[in-house]
């Protein structure tokens, strides 16, 4: 279990996503509802979310598909669908939802909002799409942030 | 089947939601991606979504819970939870998601966005919360609009 | 929180479902995979599942709908749909799934199996359907048992 | 669209799953509820399910992961998790659920039942696990069969 978490955090960093980048998304969404929330608390909550087995396997599976698509190791027609992040391809959202669901349905709204507005690291991942395949990663990161918001709400509201 | 659709549309109107109010949400979200989309097309798509059995049962179940809560016919502690639309109560989002899912996961993002921003009729339903119980209705309407966006995307993109 | 759990357990007992009845379902499903599992461990795991806020709200919402249907307090056409437990009505499965999802997707298979085979208390709830409305309750109990199986698997396998 | 369906059917055959193998699962589950159901009707319904874009993308994604795992092209620790079909890995069930959900929640029960009992082709796929990686395929095939059952129920009950 310990090694799984380590593997996930390393993979995120390898793909240019720091824990802090995700914690900022959580902080910006929650400070309106929890005025005394701190970045430290948001960072710890993201770390807690990454302890969950389902979150780890969803992240590893999605990031693997991004990397395999970059290396052209996936067969057609799926390869082009993933590389273009086709709007009718929804498996990325499905994996993200499996992360958010761990803390119940209250994370759904924040996930959708983040995925539409693409603030901070999400915007950066989206911009990098012409040089990298981040089809899964941007949704997964939004899913982790939304899950952390839900976990914070459960403990603080 | 025909009668179910009629019952649903009547119930929506009784709760101050017109088909056009939902179609406007769809139009405003989609015109960016489908420049030649018309209000007529959006209205027809909302009508199509309301033909689906799962959409009908989710709407009737959620609206019934709103009405029963208004009449104090639900037992405590659930009555207060629904009346206050407690942030940790997620059954409203779960029913809305069951609507959106009919057209796949691509509706998820629009659902979350609508539920956070609350444009048009969604803002109105939210404002009316001090005189009415719209705990389920606002999420369900966002769910129908998001489902219609997904259906439009499937047929037009 | 404490009071919510108490309210849920009382409501289950009022509807003829004991914690032990659910624990037996868990024990019978898990003894094949965890040979030294005990009824005590299964009972404790069911108790843990009932601590979760989403589980509590799903149970209270579903049981309320069963009771309100029995009292004819729900409007038509939904009243008849719930009373007959129509095969095309899926909101009961949706609420049950929201319980199972708390421990990830690995509970899905056990939920479906229990809902099809209806062993023990599930069979009894189903037989009582001519005198009571258990449309939601049987699915919810199967959902709690499947969630407990998933929690056990996470801690023991 | 047409080409996607063709690609999916070819991929299924390449992995030893015929449309008829899936249709038999549907027939065996439904003949109890629809006495005059025919294999022809079941086959056509499976074909209809395979027309759906979400079904196609879920199948192509899952089967790709099976094939990439067989070729050792996925990085550790995910590679071993998929190859061993670890009981705590739930992404296969999540993709299968995204197929079943297209026809609403009424397919859930049949999916869980098929995944537990593993009749017909599902048992065969499971037995082949020592020579092939079918971690995703068996769940996906159960998902398609359960979706076809739900579609039949919608049109016939």
Contact criterion met (CB < 8 Å) for A90 and B112: no
User: Which residues in chain C are contacts of B95 at CB distance < 8 A?
Assistant: 91, 94
Whole-prediction pTM value? 0.92
Q: Calculate the CA dihedral of residues B94, B95, B96, B100 and round it to 10 degrees.
A: 90
Report whether pLDDT(C3) > 70: yes
CB atoms within 10 A of CB C108: 25
Contact criterion met (CB < 8 Å) for A104 and C154: no
Question: What pLDDT score does B73 carry?
Answer: 97
Question: What pLDDT score does D103 carry?
Answer: 86
Among C4, C68, C78, beta carbon nearest to B77: C4
- Spatial separation of the C-alpha atoms in residues D136 and C74, rounded to whole Å: 42
Token code pair at residue C87: 């095969």
Average pLDDT, chain A: 94
Contact A57, D81 (CB under 8 A): yes
CATH 3.40.50.300 assigned to C2-156: no
User: Which residues in chain B are contacts of C57 at CB distance < 8 A?
Assistant: 78, 81, 88-91
For residue D93, which phi and psi values (nearest 5 degrees)? -65, -35
CB atoms within 10 A of CB D28: 14
User: Which residues in chain B are contacts of D49 at CB distance < 8 A?
Assistant: none
Report whether pLDDT(A104) > 90: no
Q: Which chains touch D (3 or more CB pairs under 8 A)?
A: A, B, C
Domain locations along chain A = 2-156
Token code pair at residue D152: 């039949």
Report whether pLDDT(A157) > 80: no
Contact B125, B134 (CB under 8 A): yes
- Spatial separation of the C-alpha atoms in residues B131 and D101, rounded to whole Å: 36
User: Which residues in chain B are contacts of C91 at CB distance < 8 A?
Assistant: 57-58, 61, 95, 98
Q: Which chains touch A (3 or more CB pairs under 8 A)?
A: B, C, D
Report whether pLDDT(B27) > 60: yes
Report whether pLDDT(D68) > 90: yes
Note the pLDDT tens digit of each residue in D5-37.
999 999 999 999 999 999 999 999 999 999 999
Question: What pLDDT score does D143 carry?
Answer: 97
CB atoms within 10 A of CB A6: 12
Closest residue in A to B155 (Cα) is A88
Contact criterion met (CB < 8 Å) for B77 and C53: no
DSSP string, A13-48: HHTT--HHHHHHHHHHHHTTTSTT--HHHHHHHHHH
Question: What pLDDT score does D9 carry?
Answer: 97
Q: Which site among B58, B90, B96 would you substitute to test the A interface, given the most A Cβ atoms closer than 10 Å to its Cβ? A: B90
DSSP string, B22-40: HHHHHHHHHTTTSTT--HH
Closest residue in C to B89 (Cα) is C57
Rounded to the nearest angstrom, the minimum Cα separation between B86 and chain D is 26
């Amino acid at each position: 279990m310990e090694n799984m978490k380590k593997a996930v955090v390393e993979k995120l960093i390898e793909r240019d996503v720091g824990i802090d980048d995700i914690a900022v998304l959580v902080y910006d969404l929650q400070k309106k509802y929890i005025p005394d929330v701190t970045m430290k608390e948001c960072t710890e909550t993201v770390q807690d979310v990454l302890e969950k087995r389902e979150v780890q396997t969803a992240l590893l599976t999605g990031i693997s598909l991004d990397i395999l698509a970059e290396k052209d190791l996936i067969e057609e027609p799926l390869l082009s669908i993933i590389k273009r992040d086709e709007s009718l391809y929804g498996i990325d959202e499905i994996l993200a939802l499996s992360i958010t669901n761990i803390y119940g349905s209250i994370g759904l709204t924040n996930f959708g909002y983040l995925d539409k507005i693409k603030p901070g690291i999400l915007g950066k991942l989206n911009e990098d799409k012409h040089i990298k395949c981040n089809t899964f990663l941007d949704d997964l990161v939004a899913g982790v942030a939304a899950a952390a918001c839900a976990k914070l709400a459960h403990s603080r509201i």
